[in-house]
Structure 1
Amino acid sequence: MNLNLIKLQIVELLDKHKKITSVADELGLKQPTVTYHLKNLEQQLGEKLFESRMDKMILTESGRAFLHYAVKINALAAEAERVVKEFSQADRGTLKIGASYVPATYILPKILGKFGEQHPGVTLSLSVKPSPVIKEMLASHEIDLGILSTESFYLPSLHSQALCEDELVLVFAPSHPFAEMIELSPAAILSANFILHNKESSTRQLTDKWFERGGVQPRAGILLDSLEAIKQSLSSGKHVSFISRLAVQEEVDRGELLMCPIPDYHFHRHIFYSYNRDRHYSPLVGLFIELLRSVKL
């Protein structure tokens, strides 16, 4: 069976655009050529991959199963081409990085800037997603390197190494009643009005775990998916939140917010770098990790 790459690219692009004309435009082919390749592929497989609905091409059940592998093969083919080019383009190329919110916002900017100065011919691409999504992107070969804040984890396909601890602390404004207390008990915190992170974030997951140990649900006055928005909202003095120490250190140093350890907190979260064991460990990945490990976090 001849499953050449153009057929696999057509399947992936047709799922994206839903129209053969758009696929033909993107690939620089004529529409009949795209149709021929698709029909030829379906004949080879003995299955219908797409069906026409309301002028759109929609995947069948068989098509969805095939797409899963087509996307992986296309990504590996693109990676193989890029890696080979790296050998003839020593200090050029593209490095695709994925990062969760804390490292993307409070660690990577200065590192990306320094790497760009040292390797001006390299194009850096950064995707900011929750930690579980970064793991999925690594597993599916969508990115070269992941920088994520999470509890320790093990996935057979991923190599991971901790860079530093990412401690959660209780944060509130100087005008909040907690600022007058010498020592905060778990009971006091359990009864406070919280600003919560979105459910996909590792901070929210650890917050929920801490409340589960206390046998109650957090009293959420506000739900936000932006760390900067959370910090701004805390200034009213009506709410508290669990936030990464890395994310709030500057505001604490300026006296704009206060932080204290979370009592009865027994979870450990770190900033990790991670890459796919089955993906070529390119010189660019090695150079970026070397810089990451040399910077004091």
Structure 2
Amino acid sequence: MNIVKLKIVVLIEKYKKISDVARMLGLKQPTVTFHMKSLEEELGTAIFDTRRGRVILTEAGRALLYYAQRITSLTDEAVNVVADFDTLERGTLRIGAGLMPGNYYLPVVAGRFMRQFPGIQLDIKIRADNEIVQMLQQADIDLAVMHTIQPYTEENLECEVLEDDEVVLIYPAEHSFTALKKIEVNQIAQERFIQHAEGSFIRDFSERWAAANQVNLWNSAGMDSPEAVKLAVQSRSGISFYTKRGLMSCDTPDGVQTASLPGNTVPGPQITLVYRKDRPIAAAGREFASFLRKI
């Protein structure tokens, strides 16, 4: 079973016509038909069914389709990786980023990188941290920049700490907290809390902090965007947690104050470069990692 036969399965499902499949593969129609018959003979079952001038997959064909899609996708990826592996003149680098570093940390590095290597296209996905890890495991991205509270236990993931960070309390400047020399744990628990996105490191951190201090946060709203959380605090909708690095990377809006977290401490986050040990990193990925280390 060669890759051409599997590509025919994928394209038949999409176009339903042998003429269109032949055109997409740059083959003659009799050649495509020959491969289709050869595949059925090889597997000993019908894979294709012709109905009213259209070719559809049989049940066996649809079972094969799942694997054909995966194999052809991996083959295309392998060809692209090898072609671009040792060049910084062209290619695409797929980067994943957690919500905080994706908004405040990564853009600076990406801008510098693009200016130096204009032929490299950066495809950046900003998602909650649990989604980024899943994308990395599924090889949908080449590397990731994210906050981690503790190293990942997956054996195939390499975590390289870029810098330490700290979570702080943010609240409106007009808030009663402004007059206090020290903010207590119970005082935080009594305030409306603007919660960060499900699956993000800072939401996980806030839940750990609450558990460590035996309180429940009054989650009055949840927002997927860190910037939206900050603006909600600015508009006096509540208080929240934020990272120092996130506040340093842009102008803190007027009307937002910060304070260290009281009570029992929770290990602080680190901005981390994460990649898979079992997949080679192309030249663009290696160079981008070097940019990150120099910040």
Please tell me the TM-score bracket, short chain as reference: 0.7 to 0.9
Mean alpha-carbon deviation: is it higher for 187-196 or for 40-49? 40-49
SS of alignment partner, residue 272 of structure 1: strand
1:173-212 Cα deviation digits (max 9, x unpaired): 1011111111011111112110011222111111112222
What fraction of aligned residue pairs are identical, expressed as a percent? 28
Larger Rg: 2
SS of alignment partner, residue 135 of structure 2: helix
Q: What corresponds to 1:111 in structure 2?
A: 109
Return the alpha-carbon distance in structure 2 between the equivalents of residues 129 and 26 of structure 1.
39
Return the alpha-carbon distance in structure 2 between the equivalents of residues 115 and 219 of structure 1.
42
SS of alignment partner, residue 115 of structure 2: helix
When the two structures are aligned, how many residues end up with a matched partner? 284
Return the alpha-carbon distance in structure 2 between the equivalents of residues 212 and 111 of structure 1.
35
1:154-183 Cα deviation digits (max 9, x unpaired): 211122201112321111110111111110
What is the CA distance between 1:288 and its match in structure 2? 0.6
Return the alpha-carbon distance in structure 2 between the equivalents of residues 101 and 9 of structure 1.
40
Return the letter of the residue paired with 2:24.
Answer: G
Check conservation: 1:99, 1:131, Cα contact below 8 A: yes
What is the CA distance between 1:225 and its match in structure 2? 0.9
Going from structure 1 to structure 2, the CA distance change for 1:253 and 1:221 (only over 3 Å counts) comes to closer
Going from structure 1 to structure 2, the CA distance change for 1:208 and 1:40 (only over 3 Å counts) comes to farther
Return the alpha-carbon distance in structure 2 between the equivalents of residues 214 and 32 of structure 1.
73
Q: What corresponds to 2:246 in structure 1?
A: 247
Q: What corresponds to 2:24 in structure 1?
A: 28
- Give yes or no for the alignment of 1:212 onto 2:211: yes
- Give yes or no for the alignment of 1:167 onto 2:163: no
Check conservation: 2:11, 2:21, Cα contact below 8 A: no
> Where does structure 1 lack aligned partners over 5 or more consecutive residues?
51-56
Q: What corresponds to 1:144 in structure 2?
A: 142
Q: CA RMSD in A?
A: 3.7
TM-score (norm 1): 0.79
| 1:4-23 alignment runs, 5 A limit | 4=3, 7=6, 10-11=9-10, 14=13, 20=16
Going from structure 1 to structure 2, the CA distance change for 1:87 and 1:100 (only over 3 Å counts) comes to closer
> Where does structure 2 lack aligned partners over 5 or more consecutive residues?
49-55
Going from structure 1 to structure 2, the CA distance change for 1:236 and 1:123 (only over 3 Å counts) comes to closer
